[in-house]
Amino acid sequence: MTIALPALGVPRKHKIDLSWPILILFAALLCVLIILPMSWLFYYSLVDRSGAFTLGNFETLVTDPVFVAPLITTLILATSSSIICCVFAAPMGWLVARTDIPLRRTVRALVTASFVTPPFLGAIAWELLAAPNSGLLNKIYRAITGAPQDEHLFNIYSLPGLIFVISCYTFPYVFVLLANALDRIPGDLEDASSILGGRTWTTARRVTIPLALPALLAGALVAFLQAMTLFGSPAILAIPAGFHTMTTKIWSLFNYPPKPELAAAASVPLLVLTVVLLRAEALILGRRGYSVVGGKQGDPRLIRLGGIKWVALAFVFVILTCPVFFPYGALLNATFSRVATSFVTFDNFTLHNIHFVFFELSATKLAVKNTFLLGVASATVGTLMALVIAYLTTRRAIRGYRALGFLATAPVAIPGIVLGVGLFLSYARPPLVLYGTLWILLLAFVTIALPAAYQQLQSAFRSVHTDLEDASRILGSTRLRTLRDITAPLLRTSVIATWCFIFVGVIRELSAAIMLFTSETKVISVLIFDLNESGDLGAISVLGLIMLAITFAVVIAVNRIPGFGAARLRNT
């Protein structure tokens, strides 16, 4: 029996509920962030120098061999990379997630290492290793086989060389998607198959693989998109070899005198292709996931490999030499060697490169400062935005939340360099001139990081039940206060993981930064790229190692320091 009690105390003061304005503000911000640059991009692609409407830009794109060749090269590049990634990452993912191969955690850590290594730094390191005449590996080959000076085993300045380097640094995407999917397959299904008499291979073929196939396809598509939109590696390896890819071509169109109309037109195929592939991925994955349907489920049973586990381990480590061991070794070698492509010996050892970067190169301090500032700012703003937007969409707090969710994931369809072009065209002109400030870089980095952050936080939100929030609202708190006091602390580990993910992503970003920087807003990635154009390999190695050190420090801190809840940095 309920008793009606008289109202206690003073009637509650009605504070202004800031929830709605803030929520609308975020929605508006999102629109500006994404729709504005893209509209300018489309505008420029459809006008000529004088501003009149024309389809001439697109016509040039399809008829002029100067543009058609890079487009074909890009498609070949992306397809080959994607296939190679799948061929190597799939067995690796299966071995790590489903078998009792030793050193599983080390392997995962090394894959994380290759994931956070900037692809352009890997490309430079591979230049040191596999340049046809001066590369370290080729020197070893000639020393061992006694081949003449002219012969080489590897030529990194070629299309296969470029495909190889790109695959090295996109395979983590496939690996992670596949390993995560395989982690989640309930053991019950495989147990059932075993009970019914299926052997290991039959179980794998008829149960595990079909369940993992969607993830593999998704991984292949992601790898394709990544390979297609990379700028740094092609600029470093393709141009010396004498060919362009779409991204380097777009960038070259901004050399004086700039041709923004052609650059915008050249960006459109990349954009369209990305959107089409993402739709295809959504269609393929569709409702078929591997989502858990209630009830208790067993842990996946690890397959015993027996004797071949050492062979398998060797296989995995051989693969990992390509993105991790060899390149890092080459960078370390070049740091301490007087000649970047000679092995460090007693009379070759020098600390000059380190001294040069820290005490002579005037751009270092500024670049490091800018990178840190932008990293922290982008991570904070990005996490905040992703948090609010994820809340809005998972809790269906406002009308049109679906559109908001779509906009939050839309930037994944925009290649980095295309976004750079769009932002340049939007903000290098009045009324709002952000070009030349760190703000434009902040916009770019936040836009690029938003989709992944949003997805991470969205899945985190789904794991928090609404009861707690409902209780808070019933007791009279506003949505925003609920979010701040109840939900956010519960999501602390995910929020921190997202923050670090964005921070790491910002440090290695080059494609957008290369379009938007000026001399005062240089970041480390652009500085390394500049130094590569002038051939200062020693300085590049030192800066590259600094970059990697900062990245690893952040990643390890997130995973180890208590209080951060030992959050696992899940790569999406």
Partner 1 sequence: MTKLRFSRRNVLKASTAVAAGAVVARIGAPMRPAQAQARTVVAEPITPTLIEAAKKEGKLAFYTAMDLAFAQRLAKTFEERFSGITVRVERSGAERIFTRIGQEYGGNIHAVDVVNTADQAHCIVWKRNGWLASYLPEEVAKYFEPKYYDPDGLHVTTRILVSPLAYNTNLVKPEEAPKSFADLLDPKWAGKLVKAHPAYSGTIMNATFQIARELGWDYFEKLAKQRVLQVQSATDTPKKIALGERAVMVDGAGYLVIRYKEEGQPVEIVYPQEGTPLATGPSAVFKAAPNPNAARLFQNWMHSREAQQFLVDWARQYSPHQQTAEKAGLRKLSEIKLMREDAESVESMSEDIKTRYARIFKV
Enumerate binding residues for partner 1 (CB under 8 A): 66, 69, 131-134, 149, 157, 238-244, 252, 254-258, 339-341, 356, 360-363, 366, 428, 433, 435-436, 518-520, 530-531, 533-537, 539
Cα 397 to chain centroid, rounded: 30
Beta carbon nearer to partner 1, 23 or 527: 527
Beta carbon nearer to partner 1, 254 or 290: 254
Beta carbon nearer to partner 1, 70 or 451: 70
Instruction: Answer whether 402's CB lies under 8 Å from 28's CB.
Output: no
Query: Which residues, including other chains, have CB under 8 Å from residue 568's CB and lie 6 or more apart?
Result: 497, 559
Beta carbon nearer to partner 1, 201 or 256: 256
Beta carbon nearer to partner 1, 152 or 479: 152
Longest CA–CA span in the chain (Å) reads 99
Q: Give min distance, CB of 536 to partner 1, in A.
A: 6
Cα 439 to chain centroid, rounded: 21
Joined tokens for residue 450: 């938003």
Q: Give min distance, CB of 343 to partner 1, in A.
A: 13
**Which of helix, strand or coil describes residue 169?**
helix
Joined tokens for residue 39: 């509209």
Nearest-angstrom CA–CA distance, 40 and 94: 45
Nearest-angstrom CA–CA distance, 233 and 511: 10
Q: Give min distance, CB of 344 to partner 1, in A.
A: 15
The continuous run of DSSP H or E covering 319 comes out as helix 308-320
Beta carbon nearer to partner 1, 53 or 359: 359
Beta carbon nearer to partner 1, 50 or 255: 255
Burial 214-236 (b: 16+ CB within 10 A, else e): bbbbbbbbbbbbbbbbbbbbbbb
Q: Give min distance, CB of 266 to partner 1, in A.
A: 15
Phi, psi of 47, rounded to the nearest 5 degrees: -120, 165
Joined tokens for residue 513: 């930064």
Beta carbon nearer to partner 1, 430 or 476: 430
Burial 534-560 (b: 16+ CB within 10 A, else e): eebbbbbbbbbbbbbebbbebbeebbe
Q: Which amino acid is at 305?
A: L
Instruction: For tokens 């760190």, name the residue.
Output: 438
The three-state (H, E, C) secondary structure of 283-310, written as one string: HHHCCCCCCCCCCCCCCCCCECCCCHHH
Q: Give min distance, CB of 436 to partner 1, in A.
A: 4
Nearest-angstrom CA–CA distance, 119 and 126: 10
Joined tokens for residue 182: 């395989």
Q: Give min distance, CB of 108 to partner 1, in A.
A: 37
Q: Give min distance, CB of 541 to partner 1, in A.
A: 14
Q: Give min distance, CB of 155 to partner 1, in A.
A: 10
Q: Give min distance, CB of 288 to partner 1, in A.
A: 45
Q: Give min distance, CB of 54 to partner 1, in A.
A: 20
Q: Which amino acid is at 181?
A: A
Q: Nearest-5° angle of CA 415, CA 417, CA 423?
A: 105
Beta carbon nearer to partner 1, 87 or 432: 432
Beta carbon nearer to partner 1, 456 or 532: 532
